[in-house]
């Protein structure tokens, strides 16, 4: 329903969360549901998640179970997450778990879709200082801004989308690259595709320059450490409508060079927000754990760097020996679906 916000409660809320939700809803048409009882379509949804000191919320787990077992149950929806905790931990992990499940169920998310409130609200210290307000007021403003962005979000559409593919794999042995090659065959007539391999040479990781130094270099499209990030990746990211990360599962984590590349995007992000750029991922695990790597893409690229997250943004497969991924049962249908989704999200057509 256009212009209407659906607030989906996942558990009994504290007085603080209720106050923040009331302020964020003020002047807007909204509904409040205590649970998701069936599929939604084309709705704007704010997931409101309270957490106690343990980080355990049984209603949240029930919601996750429903999303994970009902593909496409959020088709056409746009979402955001408000996580309110009583301690310092678990708000972000709960948020990214929910965003991953909702994306795979068909929900899109604008960049920075999570507002998290720790028990003492110290995580709003910088925002409060910058705005000259209290921690409580900074929290309220962040929640209201999230509601606005969820309601206003409209994915950019391009006639011939530009895709940037980043990887750090060997073409000879990589199942992940093999799967992407099949996707590229399906997309290259409709998209302009740039591929950058970060495997060879040295890619220095971010060492945490002071904010002012990072901003100074970022405003020039530069970084103190230079190299392939500045010479190739920065210009390609700026030009891209979508970034595809090819992510073999290394010890339940992104490959080191991809992690370094994400960290190094900070300088560019400070000067050129990525809110109009989508992020996709191909994740291949030798044994298990693809969801762990996909959730890292969610938190690093969508929650932290502000790329928007399309529905079904990730292709998750399990294959061990080289060459086995392209022989998995049903793989051609999944490749067709994933490639078609990339084109649909970026151009509006399949």
In a domain, 27, yes or no: yes
Same domain, 187 and 325: yes
pLDDT confidence tier of residue 282, bands split at 50, 70 and 90: very high
Same domain, 101 and 186: no
pLDDT at position 227 = 64
Return the structure tokens found at 128. 């409060």
In a domain, 20, yes or no: yes
Segment (H or E) for 270? helix 256-271
In a domain, 157, yes or no: no
Same domain, 179 and 232: yes
CATH number of the domain enclosing 43: 3.40.50.360
Of residues 149 and 250, which shows the higher confidence score?
149
Same domain, 136 and 224: no
In a domain, 86, yes or no: yes
Same domain, 68 and 121: yes
pLDDT at position 213 = 43
Q: What is the mean pLDDT of residues 48-62?
A: 95
Most confident stretch, 195-199, 223-227, 264-268, 291-295: 291-295
Same domain, 217 and 91: no
pLDDT at position 219 = 44
pLDDT at position 199 = 73
In a domain, 91, yes or no: yes
Same domain, 127 and 194: no
- Poorest-confidence range of 57-66, 89-98, 145-154, 269-278? 269-278
pLDDT at position 172 = 84
pLDDT confidence tier of residue 170, bands split at 50, 70 and 90: confident
Same domain, 198 and 342: yes
Residue % of the chain over a pLDDT of 90: 83
The DSSP code for 289 is -
Count CA atoms closer than 13 A to 316's CA, side-chain side: 17
Mean pLDDT, the chain, rounded, equals 91
Same domain, 195 and 134: no
Q: Does 216 score more than 90 pLDDT?
A: no
Q: What is the number of structural domains in the chain? A: 2
In a domain, 136, yes or no: yes
Q: Does 209 score more than 50 pLDDT?
A: no
The sign of the dihedral angle between the CA atoms of 8, 112, 334, 331 is negative
Same domain, 144 and 167: no
Q: What is the mean pLDDT of residues 11-39?
A: 91
pLDDT confidence tier of residue 230, bands split at 50, 70 and 90: confident
Q: What is the mean pLDDT of residues 149-163?
A: 97
**pLDDT, tens only, 66-118:** 999 999 999 999 999 999 999 999 999 999 999 999 999 999 999 999 999 99
Residue % of the chain over a pLDDT of 70: 91
pLDDT at position 201 = 53
pLDDT at position 11 = 86
Which of 152, 182, 212 lies at the terminal end of a domain, its last residue? 152
- Poorest-confidence range of 174-178, 226-230, 345-349? 226-230
The sign of the dihedral angle between the CA atoms of 238, 242, 248, 250 is positive
The boundaries of the domain holding residue 73 are 4-152
Which of 111, 129, 152 lies at the terminal end of a domain, its last residue? 152
pLDDT at position 25 = 92
The DSSP code for 309 is B
Of residues 47 and 229, which shows the higher confidence score?
47
Same domain, 193 and 326: yes
Q: What is the mean pLDDT of residues 245-270?
A: 92
List CB contacts of 135: < 8 A, sequence separation 6 or more: 120, 121, 122, 124, 125, 128
Q: What is the mean pLDDT of residues 119-135?
A: 97
Which of 117, 152, 187 lies at the terminal end of a domain, its last residue? 152
Same domain, 111 and 25: yes
Distance (Å, rounded) from C-alpha 289 to C-alpha 325?
A: 16
Distance (Å, rounded) from C-alpha 150 to C-alpha 140?
A: 16
Where does residue 2 fall: left (phi above 0), alpha (psi -120 to 50 degrees), or beta otherwise? beta
pLDDT at position 214 = 42
Q: What is the mean pLDDT of residues 144-162?
A: 97
pLDDT at position 206 = 44
In a domain, 166, yes or no: yes
pLDDT at position 203 = 61
pLDDT at position 350 = 74
List CB contacts of 139: < 8 A, sequence separation 6 or more: 20, 115, 117, 121, 124
pLDDT at position 202 = 54
In a domain, 80, yes or no: yes
């Amino acid at each position: 329903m256009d212009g209407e916000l659906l607030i989906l409660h996942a558990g009994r809320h504290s007085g603080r969360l209720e106050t923040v939700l009331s302020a964020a809803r003020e002047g807007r048409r909204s509904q409040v549901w205590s649970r998701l009882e069936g599929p939604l379509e084309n709705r704007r949804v704010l997931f409101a998640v309270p957490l106690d000191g343990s980080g355990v919320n049984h209603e949240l787990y029930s919601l996750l179970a429903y999303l994970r077992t009902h593909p496409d149950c959020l088709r056409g929806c746009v979402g955001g997450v408000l996580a309110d905790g009583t301690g310092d931990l678990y708000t972000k992990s709960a948020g990214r778990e929910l965003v991953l499940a909702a994306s795979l169920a068909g929900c899109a998310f604008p960049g920075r879709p999570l507002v998290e409130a720790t028990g003492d609200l110290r995580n709003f210290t910088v925002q409060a200082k910058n705005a000259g307000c209290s921690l409580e007021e900074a929290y309220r403003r962040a929640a209201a801004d999230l509601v606005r962005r969820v309601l206003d979000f409209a994915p950019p559409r391009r006639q011939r989308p530009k895709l940037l593919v980043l990887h750090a794999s060997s073409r000879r042995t990589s199942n992940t690259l093999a799967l992407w090659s099949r996707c590229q065959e399906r997309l290259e007539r409709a998209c302009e595709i740039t591929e950058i391999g970060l495997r060879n040479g040295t890619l220095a990781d971010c060492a945490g320059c002071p904010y002012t130094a990072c901003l100074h270099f970022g405003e020039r499209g530069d970084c103190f450490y230079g190299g392939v990030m500045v010479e190739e990746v920065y210009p390609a990211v700026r030009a891209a409508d979508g970034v595809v990360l090819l992510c073999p599962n290394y010890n339940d984590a992104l490959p080191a060079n991809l992690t370094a590349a994400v960290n190094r995007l900070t300088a560019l992000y400070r000067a050129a927000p990525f809110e109009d750029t989508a992020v996709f991922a191909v994740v291949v695990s030798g044994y298990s754990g693809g969801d762990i790597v996909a959730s890292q893409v969610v938190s690093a690229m969508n929650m932290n760097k502000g790329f928007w997250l399309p529905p079904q943004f990730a292709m998750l497969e399990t294959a061990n020996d080289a060459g086995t991924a392209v022989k998995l049962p049903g793989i051609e249908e999944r490749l067709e679906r994933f490639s078609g989704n990339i084109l649909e999200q970026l151009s509006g057509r399949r």
